[in-house]
A and B are shown apart, each in its own frame.
Chain A
Amino acid sequence: MWRLNKVHHKASKQGDSLEELRLKRREHEKALRQARRDRQLVSKRLLLNEDEDQPEPTMDTNTAEQDMVTLFHNLQHSGPEREAHLKALSKALRDPSAQLTFIKKENSMHLLVSLLTGSNATCRLQAVRCLHELSHSPHNNVAPACLPATPYLLTYLSGQSTKFTELCLYTLGNLFPDSDVVKDKLVAQGIIPALANCIENQRHNLAVVEAVGFTLSQLLQVKDAAEKIIPTVLASSIPSHLLSVLTPDPKFGLAPAIECAWCLHYLTCSIEDNRVLLAHRAMLQCSSLLVSLGGAVASGNKEEGMELLIFPLLRCVGNLLSFCPVEDLTTQVGDHHIVAALCALLEAYLQTQPALARESAWVLNNLTAYSSAFCSALLTLNLVPGLIQLLPFSQGINTMILRVLANIAHNRKEFCVQLANLGLLSALCATLKMADQEMVTLSMDVLFMLVVSGPQVAEEFVRHGGLSVLEATQYNSEGEIRQRATYLLKTLEENISCS
């Protein structure tokens, strides 16, 4: 199921130049971004046939439709060629227009369902393949047409054939976003316990685990998931199964862990009360995994696609932290190496995935907000100079990192002196000149904490030429900034004359 490398092959085989591929990709990305802003971001997965190693270009629409009509006609008569016809039908149904034509034909779904539930195992497999192609349709009126088949798909989840189960799962996963009716019916029919059983019984079959993860993630993203679905999921055995599969299997790859991690993310971020997940030691699991991933990255083993796993793990930890009382922090998070891992991730992904760097900084903020232990860890593990060097980078990275440093300064006076010794004062002389007003304001708040921590810090700031920077800042167009600058200058005067 791991298809990361396919993009390379696709480019060379289909004759698209890399540039064309990039262009297409960029357009897709734009579309996805817009979809997310509209809260309409959904995806479907297509499970390829055994003989395909990449999605083949669909045949000409007219041919597909013609084929489909003929095949459908032929299928209505039983015979030894049925299996072959079904297989051919599934290929024809790759075409979106053929899909539409198919569902409009009378009894077409009825026929498929009878083949799906018939005594011929091969026909069952091919029938589910047809349904899978239909589920992947870009037309959202196809999904409701598949409604008659869904109860059977659900029943088959407890079956034993890997390929068959996978197809059922991906088909169901594809149907959820398109049809509330399908979703409601399946929930009523017990899809959640069925998924729980499936993942439990098949937990050594990683292809199935990945498929369950995908299907569950689709279910968890529906609009009213928080009220209707998530409480049931949390009450089931699903969370503990998800957590148990989180550590990637080196042979199979990251895919099942990725799906399960995203499920956990949807669980943590959709509701406010996370005590169930905390009770399952979700934060401990996620953070120790982050520690090992951070370690791998720091020693140069940045596996392709790793960020697909890191994103959801960061988010789980970040949101669980916002719910966890500070005295439980160490038991829930584990030792302090998490901060080193986060800093390693920050640096490693800064250029290629700045959003991941920003999310790592966010987690650091939540770790350091109230905990002396974690603030202290950043200092003792000598991670602060690295953080200071990241202050030039925008897109929310520097503001978040400055918050982390501010947390440390706020925590203890002694920390302020240490921060000053590590070069924060000269960094602030630069950040005070930035265009971003939020950075300037925050810089002044931090500067104030440093300067009142002791006369030696105040003097050092003055040695760095800080006074003239503040004087200039007194003429800023924002009143809040002017106020701070004036107050700081006054404070500096007092602190220095008293020393």
Chain B
Amino acid sequence: MLQPDLLRLQTEGPVLVKSCAENGPTGSTQERRQREAEAGEPFTFTPQLIRLHRDHELFEDGDVHRHMYLQDLYITEADDDKPALSVSEFACHISGCSAVFSTLDEYEHHYNSLHRHVCCSCRRSLPSARLLDIHIQEWHDSLFTILAQRQDMYQCLVDGCGQKFRTSKHRKDHLIRIHKYPPDFRFDKNKKDGGSRETRRQQQKDSAMEAADDVCESEGVCEVMCDVPSNQPEHGESMETHVSEEEADRTFKSALTEEDADLSAVAHDTRNTSTDPPKPRYSYRVPPTVCFGHGSVRGFRGRRGRRK
């Protein structure tokens, strides 16, 4: 795809770009709005005259066309089979998600399916606000864990059913028997199962994420795997508007207190392991395997990973 890089025009030799001052004499400044860039405004656009030198790449196609004609290779439009025009692709903006789409609809579907209801602690993506609520309650709320020891806290996932159960296993049985969910539906993983899967997945994930993985193993409907195709190298910076790493860690750790000591040990280990940049294994076609971590809204407060 021939993409004249306009920003490069300013630095490469052959092109002369004239700035406003040189070419806009006083007569016309009155006409033109003077938008002085205020301090702190990050916007850099200014109108620019673009001069293109003979050898500029923007001229390539036209030059080739001209020489094809000189060499008697000209072809009429009717005979030309080449589809030359292309449409811009859309890409998911969420850092770490490298999904690309050819239509806006596909993009919207992807974004709405995967990035809207995201748990801030473990970055699991849930299909709906209700399921996100349930997930957060069951996995990140220490009060829930305490109460669950004494009363039926596990809600049926089917909206409107209202039944509650003492354990997630009971709930699962209910869902299968009463609501006809498939037996191999991916419900809560037994927490003790963590081990082997963790090691397998280590290489593929952001270290900060892995720890969370043990804890937040699937919430029923949504799904397990959260592969973060994080392509960026680790950096120290984090976004100003978000909760610091320590706070997020604390929330996470408190949720851990009631859990298996084994798991937390595993978690610590995995967090210290350095990972290779995981390969993006993610496609927008929603899968059972979903990705990710940021999203809007719901409890989103911080990003645990690194960003440039």
Interface residues of A, Cβ cutoff 8 Å to B: 3-8, 18, 22, 25-26, 28-29, 32-33, 36-37, 39, 41, 43-46, 55, 214, 262, 266, 269-270, 272, 304-305, 307-308, 311-312, 315, 318-319, 321-323, 325-327, 350-356, 358-359, 362, 365-366, 368-372, 392-396, 398-400, 403, 406-407, 410-413, 430-431, 433-436, 438-440, 442, 444-446, 448-449, 468, 471-484, 486-487
Cβ contact of A436, chosen from B53, B64, B82, B88, cutoff 8 A? B88
Q: Across the interface, do A18 and B79 meet the contact criterion of CB distance under 8 Å?
A: yes
B93 in contact with A445 (CB, 8 Å): no
- Minimum distance in angstroms from B306 CB to a CB of chain A: 11
Knowing A352-B80, A472-B115, say if A435 contacts B2 (CB, 8 Å).
no
Residues of B within 8 A of A326 (CB): 23-25, 28
Top 8 A-B pairs, shortest CB-CB distance:
A355-B61, A435-B91, A445-B45, A322-B51, A43-B70, A369-B47, A311-B62, A394-B88
Complex Cα gap A483–B93 (Å): 14
Given A7-B75, A435-B89, do A370 and B20 touch, yes or no (CB 8 Å)?
Answer: yes
Asked if B68 CB lies within 8 Å of chain A CBs, one says yes
Within residues 1 to 51 of chain B, which ones have a CB less than 8 A from any CB in chain A? 1-7, 16, 18, 20, 23-25, 27-28, 31-33, 35, 40-51
| 0/1 interface trace, chain B 40-78, chain A, CB 8 Å (1 if under) | 111111111111111100111111111111111111110
Name 21 A/B residue pairs within 8 A (Cβ), A-sorted: A7-B79, A32-B68, A262-B66, A269-B52, A305-B74, A307-B65, A323-B51, A327-B25, A352-B80, A353-B65, A354-B85, A359-B59, A365-B48, A369-B48, A370-B20, A370-B23, A370-B28, A392-B88, A400-B6, A446-B45, A472-B115
Within 8 Å by CB of B42, from A322, A392, A487, lies: A487
Q: Which chain B residues numbered 65 to 109 have a C-beta less than 8 Å away from chain A?
A: 65-77, 79-82, 84-91, 93-96, 100, 104, 107
Task: Name A262's closest neighbour in chain B (CB-CB).
Answer: B66
Main secondary structure of the interface of B (DSSP, over half): loop
> Which of B72, B76, B115 sits near A8, CB closer than 8 Å?
B76
Query: B232 to chain A: which residues have CB within 8 Å?
Result: 477
CB contacts (< 8 Å) of A350 on chain B: these are 85
Q: What are the residues of chain A within 8 A of B3 when measuring CB–CB?
A: 394-396, 399, 436
Chain A contact surface mostly: helix
Q: What is the minimal beta-carbon distance from A253 to any residue of chain B, in angstroms?
A: 13
Interface residue? B239 (CB, 8 A): yes
| B241 on the A face (CB < 8 A) | yes
CA distance A391 to B20 in the complex (A): 26
**Smallest CB-CB separation from B107: which chain A residue?**
A433
Q: Are the C-beta atoms of A7 and B74 separated by less than 8 Å?
A: yes
Q: Is B165 an interface residue (CB 8 A)?
A: no
Q: How far is the CA of A477 from the CA of B308 in the complex (A)?
A: 7
Return B279 CB to nearest CB of chain A, in Å. 16
| Chain A residues within 8 Å of B85, by CB | 350-351, 354, 393, 395
**Nearest CB on B from A232, distance (A):** 18
CA distance A482 to B77 in the complex (A): 44
Residue of B nearest to A433 (CB): B90
Q: Please tell me which one of the listed residues B60, B296, B307 contacts residue A471 in the complex, with CB atoms under 8 A apart.
A: B296
Instruction: Given the known inter-chain contacts A304-B76, A326-B28, A395-B86, please indicate yes or no for A33 contacting B70, CB distance below 8 A.
Output: no
Assess the B32–A43 pair: CB atoms within 8 A: no
Q: Looking at chain B, what size class is its interface with the partner chain?
A: 35 or more
Given that A305-B74, A308-B66, A445-B45 are contacting pairs, would A410 and B84 also be in contact in the complex, using a CB cutoff of 8 Å? Answer: no
- B303 proximal to A (CB < 8 A): yes
Is B294 an interface residue, CB under 8 A from the partner?
yes
Contact of A472 with B111 at beta-carbon distance under 8 Å, contacts A29-B64, A304-B76, A487-B42 already known: yes
- With a cutoff of 8 Å between Cβ atoms, the chain B residues found around residue A327 in the complex are 25, 27-28
Interface positions of B from 161 to 194, Cβ below 8 Å from A: none
Say whether B47 contacts A448, CB under 8 Å. Answer: no
Nearest residue, chain B, Cβ from A472: B93
Say yes or no: B88 contacts A371, CB within 8 Å: no
With known contacts A28-B68, A355-B62, A372-B28, A362–B303 Cβ distance under 8 A? no
Q: B84 touches which one: A354, A369, A438, A444 (CB < 8 A)? A: A354
- When distances are taken between beta carbons in the complex, the residues of chain A under 8 Å from B45 are 406, 410, 442, 445-446, 449
**CB-defined contacts of B42 to chain A, threshold 8 Å:** 480, 483-484, 487
Which residues from chain B contact A372 at a C-beta distance below 8 Å?
28, 31-32
Q: Roughly how many angstroms separate A413 CA and B75 CA in the complex, as a whole number?
A: 47
B54 and A270 within 8 A (CB)? yes
